[in-house]
Amino acid sequence: MKLVMGAVGAVIGLVVLALLAVVGVVISDDDASAAETTDGGGLTGVPTEFRKWILKADEACEVQEMTPALLAAQLWQESKFKTSKKEATSSAGAQGPAQFLPSTFATWGRDDDGNGETSLWDIGDAVMAQGRMMCSLLKKAKSSGYPGDARGLALAGYNAGWGRVEQFKGVPPKSFANGETFDYVQLILSTMARFRGPSLLTVSGSGAAADALRKASGRMGTPYAWGGGGPGGPSKGFCDGTNGYLDGQCVASSTVGFDCSSLVQYAFWPKTKLPRTAAAQYGSTSDRPVSRSDLKPGDLLFWSHGGSGSIYHVAMYAGDGNVLQAPRTGRNVEVAPLTSAMPERDYYGATRP
């Protein structure tokens, strides 16, 4: 819940914290397990109706410290993913799954779910507003020069207001508001691991290529959809008479996903605005060729039926002889060995975006 200053808010906060001190904070798997999903997308233990919005809010923020697990742990601390007015209205006046005060939500809230209403009770609107506010706070935290984890500083700003972070030049100490903000930060940081999904790909380093590979790795498990996907994420594809079919049926038009080149375009956007198709991506980067022995994570790899005009597939080098790719209809975004990702005889070359 948001910190509310004043005598009434302070008394309420003291009572709540006293109760927490007695009973402890327990995370029950039963509370959120009914509809949770787990995959390689970097998020687990989250109700299905929250999942896509957490991932979308994370994608909308270019700050590296923003992660799906951070947003999920914060939502858990705020509301336990509850959405009813009875369960998600605090005594301090905070409302909805992200526990916004109406005045604060007026700044960050939008009609993100497109239902014609901007509401802090709508999961999509609430989570996207949470993401926007946290993204802004993370930027402030990183540029502030204050000691400590930028995530902790941002969380403190979300709970108590950035003015309190400035006042204490860091996370407010336990002596402030009976430790409410201090405990809020510590609890969220300590429970992030519960929501961190299994990782099939570890990306180290910084820079545009590493960031792009890291972003694409968050989409592992997303279905392949011919013609689907783009800078904004996965979308339904289409069939063109040859592509998009599985067992004689057009599946692309009903599948939300990526094809090989849209995954690459999505990964690098907006820092590097690559064109849409694999052949065009080769054309725009062919002046920076890379030998197979000098590949680095994030480099683009191409396969062709013969010459640059017949390039049919692109993937990203993931290190250790592997590639990250959206392979073909019926499959999902995956990590695969370079030697078997596509027919070895078709390997055409690599470039560095």
Annotated catalytic residues are 260, 313, 325
Q: How far apart are CA 54 and CA 48, in angstroms?
A: 10
Residue with tokens 């390997």, as numbered in its chain: 347
Instruction: Note whether 332 and 217 are within 8 A (CB).
Output: no
Burial 69-102 (b: 16+ CB within 10 A, else e): bbbbbbbbbbbebbbeeeebbbebebbbbbbbbe
**Residue 89 carries which DSSP code?**
B
DSSP 29-52: HHHH-TTEEESSSS-EEEEHHHHH
Burial category of 53 from C-beta neighbours within 10 Å (exposed 0-12, middle 13-18, buried 19 and up) = buried
Q: How far apart are the first and last CA of the chain?
A: 44
Q: What is the 3-state secondary structure (H, E, C) of 57-82?
A: HHHCCCCCCCCHHHHHHHHHHHHCCC
What is the CB neighbour count within 10 angstroms for residue 321?
10
Quickly list DSSP for 133-201. Answer: HHHHHHHHHHHH--SS-HHHHHHHHHHH-HHHHHHHTSSPPTTGGGGHHHHHHHHHHHHHHHH----S-
* Sign of the CA dihedral with 214 first, then 220, 222, and 223 last: positive
Round to whole Å and give the CA distance between 140 and 160.
Answer: 15
Under 8 Å between Cβ of 77 and 186: no
DSSP state of 191: H
